[in-house]
Structure 1
Amino acid sequence: MLGGPVGNTTFDARLDGYRRAMEAFRVPVDPALVVHDDMSQDAGFRQTQRLLAAGADFTAIFAANDLAAAGAMRALRAAGKRVPDDVSIIGYDDTPMAPELFPALTSVHLPHEELGRTAVKLALQRGENSTRQHVMLGTHIAMRDSVRPLI
């Protein structure tokens, strides 16, 4: 897990989701395989290089954003690893660059337009109503080529 800065609510929630998913499949979370950084492409590259140099045993990377995933892909290529044959990678945000990477990056898609509309709607309603509202929007996985099928 290439996570973001500790204490950042967005990245903390993604890390929590990662932990819950691992638990649901009865896979123990190895703290040595959870790293935190600034979530740039360089950080994804650097942290993946560090994991590889340490001899970490992993077959997949979940990056808390697509930039870090792109950096991880670059580090894996530099180490002679093939995505997805040797290591699968999933990003988060489904940015426009995700399908342009090679291989095309599987990513958690956020409904950016719906998110913007909902934020504006809530901001306008807030003037009328001082109570806080919490809205949960749906996500889905944009399946592409960076994940090896398990079957």
Structure 2
Amino acid sequence: MAITIADVAAQAKVSKTTVSRVLNGKGELDESTAARVRAVIEELGYVPSARAVNLARGRTRVVAMLVPSLTWPWMGEVVQGAVDVLEAEEYGLLLFTANRGADSMRQFNAQVAAKSFDGLLAIEPEGTLDYIATLHSRGLPMVLIDDRDQIAGQIPTIGTTNHTGAGEAARHLISIGRTRPLMITGPARFGCTQQRRDGFAAVYAEAGHPISDDRVLLGDFKHACGVETIQRAIAAGVEFDAVFCHNDISAAGAMQALLEAGRRIPEDVAVVGFDDIPMAAQTHPPLTTVHQPMREMGEAAARTLLAHFEGSPLPNRPTIIPATFTVRDSTR
């Protein structure tokens, strides 16, 4: 039978509260009493519940992570970055998704109410920002990952250089003589869509090749969107020598449609994506893309939260990790 705290208390002739204080280093205790309790613990081989000890200390040593879905192509990199940091500091991770909508959020809220974790890392599921902001205002330590310009200064965020990364894509295309690009965007409601559109368009405008509205085509980050948008552009007789897609998945769809239409990549049309997910190196031809530092963003978010647990204030301005540019055969 497992040794319990009651067994230790009985043999040491103290209360369970005294044993708990010895285990947790809390309260003033006579040193001889504390030494007797520690001797009994060693003699009996008592191993306290880690969860019980942490709860007694007011900490669970668990961090929660809330994400929209694990099916997003780059999500695993973010989660792995956070896990690497947390495990190194002997913290656990509770992972929640919003796959089931309101039911998922009710389950998550129950864990918030039960104080099952010390802090939250979040890639905000759509429509939950007000709820997350409320949790923050009530004192739950948290760090958001990805673009959230609308809450800058309110909740700590980790982001990347969407505007600059898109500008780098534009400069690369201009350097290889491509002056008539199409741009396939992400959903208009996302901050990164605005940043990537503006960054790309600004560089072309500065080079004397402004991008007209009919060359900026609204997308949804999906493969089918890339296919169908290119098919419509070709059918409409739009002339273009480059395509910039706001993510790699839609870029892969665009490449498929171009090849099916007999367009050579990159001889006829150069293609650039955004994200640099593992698939980008496996397309035909391999995709030139803006590399998002997703793993580094997960690491930075976890480090920021753990530093707060140790007494550092949470930052009141976004932490930005620069994107980089990866050239492959789709523009070479």
- What is the TM-score normalised by the length of structure 1? 0.91
Give 1:102's match in structure 2, choosing from 265, 269, 284.
284
Kindly provide the CA deviation profile for residues 10-51 of structure 1, in whole angstroms up to 9, marking residues without a partner as x: 221111111122123221111111011211011011111111
Give the aligned partner of residue 217 of structure 2.
Answer: 35
2:248 equivalent among 63, 66, 79: 66
Give the root-mean-square deviation of aligned CA atoms.
1.5
CA deviations over 1:62-100 (Å, ceiling 9, x no partner): 000000100000000111111101100000000100110
Which of 263, 267, 276 in structure 2 is aligned with 1:85?
A: 267
Post-superposition offset of 1:126:
5.6
Alignment partner of 2:192 out of 1, 4, 10: 10
Residue aligned with 1:27, SS: coil
Structure 1 segments unaligned to the other structure (5+ residues): none
1:22 aligns with 2:204: yes
Normalised by the size of structure 2, how large is the TM-score?
A: 0.43
Correspondence for 1:129: 313
Number of corresponding residues: 148
**Residue 55 (1) aligns with residue 237 (2):** yes
SS in 2 for 1:136: strand
Decide which of 142, 145, 148 is 2:329's aligned counterpart: 145
- Aligned counterparts of 2:238 and 2:302: Cα–Cα separation in 1: 44
Distance, in Å, in 1 between the alignment partners of 2:308 and 2:217 is 38
Relative to structure 1, the CA distance from residue 136 to residue 111 in structure 2 (aligned partners, 3 Å threshold; closer, same or farther) is: same
Structure 2: gaps spanning 5 or more residues: 1-182
* Worse-matched range after superposition: 60-69 or 16-25: 16-25
The alpha carbon displacement at 1:124 in A equals 3.8
SS at match of 1:50: helix
Instruction: Spell out, residue by residue over 1:82-138, the C-alpha distance to the aligned partner (whole angstroms, 9 max, x if none).
Output: 110110000000010011011010000111221111122233456653552211211
Q: Is residue 119 from structure 1 mapped to residue 305 from structure 2 by the alignment?
A: no
Could you list the runs of 4 or more consecutive aligned residues of structure 1 that deviate by over 4 angstroms after TM superposition?
A: 125-128
The AA in structure 1 aligned to 2:285 is P
- 2:297 is matched by which residue type in structure 1? L
Q: Which has the higher contact order (CA 8 A, sep 6+)?
A: 1
Q: Which protein shows a greater Rg?
A: 2
In terms of fraction of residues, the more helix-rich structure is 2
